[in-house]
Amino acid sequence: MRHVLALAIACIAVFTTGGSSADLGPSTEIVVLLRDRAGRDGDLDPRPLESVELELLETAAGASLVPVRLESNGAQVLVVSGGADGARLRALLGGLRALREVVWADGVVRASQASAPPGGTLDRIILKLEDPASRDGSDAARPMPQETVRELSRVAGVPLFFERPVSGGAYALRLFQKMPDASVTAIARRLADSRSVSYAEPTVRGRFQTLPNDPLYEDQWPLLDGPGAIGAPHAWKRTLGSSDIVVAILDSGIRPEHPDLRGRLLPGYDFVSDARRSNDFDGRDADPADPGDATLSGECAIGAPASVSTWHGTHVAGTVGAATNNRIGVAGVDWKARILPVRVGAKCGIDPIDLVDAIRWAAGAVALGGVIADVGAAPPTPARILNLSMEFPGSCPQSLQDAITDAVAAGALVVVAAGNAGQPAGGFHPANCYGVVAVHANDAMGAHAAYSNYGDVDVSAPGGATSMDIRRGVLSTVVRGRKAPGAPDYGFKEGTSMAAPIVAGVASLVLSVAPGLTPGDLQTLLEATSRPFPVGTGADCADSGLRGCGAGIVDASAAVAAAESVASAN
């Protein structure tokens, strides 16, 4: 039945995208991680593909594959003989993702486009040692032994101080002072070159992907039938969702008193470990409420302007699952799915150490990544979908890639914002990580939104464009208050942060009728049922290449209909 599903979705891809695009050339590289290579220690014993494994992959892909190299985490990089692009590449990857033996399959271009982070100052490194006993110590929430810290300081050439264990068998180490990015990158490289170190990476804070505007209530065009919308009412005739499906919102937290969110929320967690930035004046705890993320002038960096609170997570959560048909406020994409609020962002951005722990916890992947310091067990209701509406500059760090791999292996689809820099998405993570659904933003006409990152993305969804009219943004739940939370309200925002939760909501509708879909199945179905981009918009999207906006605009009705067909076939 797995191969029947792969074939069915491959056929959908051909007929909904208008056929295959032109080949890039004589070969195309893809990267595949097999399930038996995933896990905390997958990097300790990387091995080449066996002939029977290669034959299985070629059968599923329907193409000849040539192994060319092995990545440090055990992933296989292969060349597709004859090349593939556009619809053909998506169909090929869909066949691979449908295999139970595959955790994720992607195009290798994601890693090759990444750029270095901009200049600034850093003071922390995340590091994993080769020694399995050290990984066990981290997973048991034990501190790194002082003799190990001293030896790493000797290798680094600067004093290092243990800060905390990190899920996945890693540790966070702090430098004695903030230093220029280039200096910290060089220190991390010296550590990574040591035979005792699996990887060492500087930690760069991310930011949420929204362009906030003043609140104004109007109709929610992204849910309707316009050229840039998702046609949700047609999907709602088939399903309103299911309370069995959990969507985790990894964001700035939520305001639980909002009347359009009450009753939809599960007990979440606050993963912000730095009490100085938390704005609730404590570390990690079981209260994911958003206290606000307003900052003073110069608080986050020299010369940085003051900012007001965004209430970003509340807006994102409402887009996925605001209470619907309750005679107040707005509608969510999914009427019944439960929302798991996971706070990872605070003043001055998102700490990647908090993020990797939160990803594993939300997906119920703690068993794969080890005990998480300060938290422990996974939530009683792990999420099937994780929404990450955020952006970090540079290539995907190994620590983040490992956490995403653990989440996907645990059965969670990871939906991420492509980013708002108006640049190739390959230069930003998590959009350039393997195994994610990277979401491009389009406007109401289905055109490329000028702020949206583009190129190596998977699908597009309404993100809004408010420069001419605020009502062309995405309307959802917020609260009043420039600094501290005030009364519940509704407001328009634009950005890939708004597009990603629309995709997450559609994915939860799909799972409500076909709960047996794996993350790979689900990604392939969303891509295969996406609507072709309109033409004549003045900023037309393509499905690949330099103008690439993904497979198409996510179509809620087509996706649910395809899921019903898959469910009935099973």
Please tell me the predicted confidence (pLDDT) of residue 109.
62
Residue 211 confidence class, pLDDT cut points 50, 70, 90: very low
Same domain, 392 and 312: yes
Assign 458 to helix, strand or coil.
coil
Q: Is the distance from CB of 172 to CB of 164 less than 8 angstroms? A: yes
Same domain, 180 and 295: no
Same domain, 43 and 173: no
User: For 475-530, what is each residue's pLDDT tens digit?
Assistant: 999 999 999 999 999 999 999 999 999 999 999 999 999 999 999 999 999 999 99
Please tell me the predicted confidence (pLDDT) of residue 544.
77
Asked if the bond preceding 132 is cis, omega within 30° of 0, the reply is no
Please tell me the predicted confidence (pLDDT) of residue 214.
28
The pLDDT of 108-118, averaged and rounded, is 51
Assign 202 to helix, strand or coil.
strand
The pLDDT of 139-154, averaged and rounded, is 94
Secondary structure (H, E, C), 35-91: HHHCCCCCCCCCCCCCHHHHHHHHHHHCCCEEEEEECCCCCEEEEEECCCCHHHHHH
Same domain, 196 and 212: no
Please tell me the predicted confidence (pLDDT) of residue 271.
95
- The answer, yes or no, to whether residue 66 has pLDDT greater than 80, is yes
Same domain, 260 and 193: no
CATH of the domain at 446: 3.40.50.200
Same domain, 354 and 213: yes
Please tell me the predicted confidence (pLDDT) of residue 352.
93
Same domain, 167 and 73: no
Question: Residue 159 corresponds to which tokens in the numbers above?
Answer: 């004093």
Q: Is the distance from CB of 485 to CB of 293 less than 8 angstroms? A: no
Same domain, 213 and 196: no
Please tell me the predicted confidence (pLDDT) of residue 120.
60
| In the block, residue with structure tokens 């009683």 | 380
Count how many domains the chain has.
3
CATH of the domain at 127: 3.30.70
Please tell me the predicted confidence (pLDDT) of residue 177.
86
Is 307 catalytic? The answer is: no
Identity of the highest mean pLDDT range in 119-133, 208-222, 246-260: 246-260
Question: Residue 375 corresponds to which tokens in the numbers above?
Answer: 């938290």
Question: Residue 115 corresponds to which tokens in the numbers above?
Answer: 């750029």
Exposure of 231 by Cβ count < 10 A (0-12 exposed, 13-18 middle, 19+ buried)?
Answer: buried
Q: What percent of the chain has pLDDT over 90?
A: 69
Same domain, 273 and 251: yes
Phi and psi at 107, nearest 5°, equal -85, 135
Domain residues for the domain of 13 are 2-112
From the list 85, 106, 139, 251, the catalytic residue is: 251
- The answer, yes or no, to whether residue 178 has pLDDT greater than 90, is no
Asked which of 79, 112, 145 is the last residue of a domain, the reply is 112
- The answer, yes or no, to whether residue 210 has pLDDT greater than 60, is no
Question: Residue 427 corresponds to which tokens in the numbers above?
Answer: 């230069």
Residue type, 329: G
Is 251 catalytic? The answer is: yes
Question: Residue 120 corresponds to which tokens in the numbers above?
Answer: 């600034």
The terminus-to-terminus CA distance of the chain in angstroms comes to 7
- Cα 418 to chain center, whole Å? 9
Assign 380 to helix, strand or coil.
coil
Is 139 catalytic? The answer is: no
Q: Is the distance from CB of 255 to CB of 315 less than 8 angstroms? A: no
The pLDDT of 56-75, averaged and rounded, is 93
From the list 258, 312, 429, 448, the catalytic residue is: 312
Say which range, 73-87, 136-150, 514-528, has the weakest mean pLDDT: 73-87
For the chain, the average pLDDT equals 88
Asked which of 112, 137, 153 is the last residue of a domain, the reply is 112
Specify which residues 350 forms β-bridges with: 206, 345
The pLDDT of 255-271, averaged and rounded, is 94
Same domain, 134 and 95: no
From the list 460, 497, 530, 544, the catalytic residue is: 497
User: For 386-418, what is each residue's pLDDT tens digit?
Assistant: 999 999 999 999 999 999 999 999 999 999 999
Assign 165 to helix, strand or coil.
strand
Please tell me the predicted confidence (pLDDT) of residue 561.
97
Please tell me the predicted confidence (pLDDT) of residue 485.
93
Phi and psi at 568, nearest 5°, equal -70, -30
- The answer, yes or no, to whether residue 4 has pLDDT greater than 50, is no
Identity of the highest mean pLDDT range in 1-10, 33-42, 359-368, 513-522: 513-522
DSSP letters, 104-171, are EEEETHHHHT--PPPS-EEEEEEEEES-HHHHHHHHTTPPPPHHHHHHHHHHHTS-EEEEEEETTTEE
Same domain, 198 and 212: no
Q: Say which residues have a Cβ less than 8 Å from residue 158's Cβ, sequence separation at least 6.
A: 175, 176, 187
Asked if the bond preceding 430 is cis, omega within 30° of 0, the reply is yes
The pLDDT of 307-328, averaged and rounded, is 91
Specify the length of the chain in residues: 570
Question: Residue 417 corresponds to which tokens in the numbers above?
Answer: 């914002």
Same domain, 135 and 280: no
**Can you say whether residue 561 is alpha, beta or left, with left for phi > 0 and alpha for psi between -120 and 50 degrees?**
alpha
Asked which of 112, 146, 168 is the last residue of a domain, the reply is 112
Assign 236 to helix, strand or coil.
helix
CA distance 203 to 498: 26
- The answer, yes or no, to whether residue 243 has pLDDT greater than 70, is yes
CA distance 320 to 337: 9
